[in-house]
Amino acid sequence: MQININFNSTFSTMKIEVSLKSWELSSNNMLLSKRFNITNFSADGDSVDAFNFREDIDLEVAKYTMPDAHEYIFEYEGALRECTKGVPLYCFSNFDYSYPVFEGQNPRIRNLSLVASSNISVISSDQLVTTEKSNNGIKYFFDGEDDFVLLIGKYMKERIISGELHYLSSFNKFDLMDRVLRSTGDYMKRHFGNGDFSKKIKYVDVTDYIGNKFINRTMFFDGSSIKEFINFDKISRMYIEAFWRVNSIDSDYLFKKGMYDYFNSRVLTEVFSRKEYEVYHEEKLKMYEGYSSLSELRSGNEALFAEYFLHKLEEFMSREMFDKVMEKFLTKYRYDEVGITAFIKHFESMSWKDGVGEFIKEILDV
């Protein structure tokens, strides 16, 4: 999938050209924000009126059922939605349908080029391949897969722990953020060993327009909402996921959600020991108690169930034993593929307490 973009900073508009092959698509149904109009559409070189296969899904999104063909080329244009008030910032992403989204799964491989004026910054979760000068400013070339976010705005840049912080002029919590990240990292290293710091990450200040997201070693966070320590809970969670992750092949609720929620809950309640975090812990307990059984909790909220399971496993084993076994687990499966069977085998074989395997199997019902 090839995407070529021209951004007009004066009018905050984009002209986008997309070309792709039919074998890249899992579905002929394409979703696109109604803020954009398809101006040209061709299927195997034949011009087609896009309105003939357009259907309005809701007030924001339209669906295009694309005709059968081997190759599609189309152009669309429109105004980007401004993400912030007072500080110009524009977003291009599959999350807001400014980027075409295909039902089922988007084409995995994406090559994107963007021309923008030289007085603004372009930041993406995709990998920047190269840049070159053009008549209208700078041309950026990105490669990527799956979900992505591309931001256009006037960013400033500072080095920060384990990477670079790209922030807007409205952000003034640099020192506080640095303290939170360092404190989170120190706790994780002390209890669960060194994470994988072989690659740096980008911390990018953006509003809650796209929410807090961690994509391809790029952390997007809402800088405007950060007032004190309590507001950094999502950032500490994403930081843990960035550097203490495992190579999961299944059971996403445990290895991609619940495990990081568990680590973060310990950081929040033990490092940032403030009244607000005591309330946070109490609220989590109320969430657990809101379900009448473990099976109901699991079916209702798998990530919460996984976090609960790890707290219970720690309680059964003892904090000291659990942390040592978990540290070895994180190191071993940083690159090796891991599923629930390997998780059980590891904890069963590495623990020096009888019954750990049976305890895990009983709670997970495997």
pLDDT computed for residue 85 by the predictor: 57
Is the pLDDT confidence value at 18 over 80? yes
Q: What pLDDT is attached to residue 202? A: 93
CB 244 within 8 A of CB 195: yes
Distance between CA atoms of residues 57 and 125, nearest Å: 28
pLDDT score for 304: 86
What is the band of 57 on the pLDDT scale with cuts at 50, 70, 90? Answer: confident
| pTM for the full predicted model | 0.82
**pLDDT digits 0-9 by tens, 261-306:** 999 989 988 887 666 566 666 666 677 777 777 778 878 888 888 8
Sheet holding 149-153, edge to edge: 89-93, 149-153, 121-124
Separation between Cα atoms, residue 280 and residue 307, nearest integer Å: 14
How far, in Å, are 96, 97, 105, 212, 247 from residue 60 at the CA level? 9, 9, 20, 21, 36
Q: Which domains, ranges and CATH numbers included, belong to the chain? A: 2-150 (2.60.40.1730), 156-182+195-238 (no CATH), 252-364 (no CATH)
> Could you read off the pLDDT of 105-141 as tens digits, one per residue?
778 789 999 999 888 899 999 999 999 998 888 999 9
In the chain, the percentage of residues whose pLDDT exceeds 70 is: 91
pLDDT at residue 61, rounded to an integer: 94
Phi/psi for 146 (5° steps) reads 60, -145
Distances (CA, A) of 212 to 41, 54, 106, 218: 35, 32, 22, 11
Confidence of residue 86 (pLDDT cuts 50, 70, 90): low
Rounded to an integer, what distance in angstroms lies between the CA atom of residue 229 and that of residue 241?
19
Cα–Cα distance, 364 to 255 (Å, whole number): 13
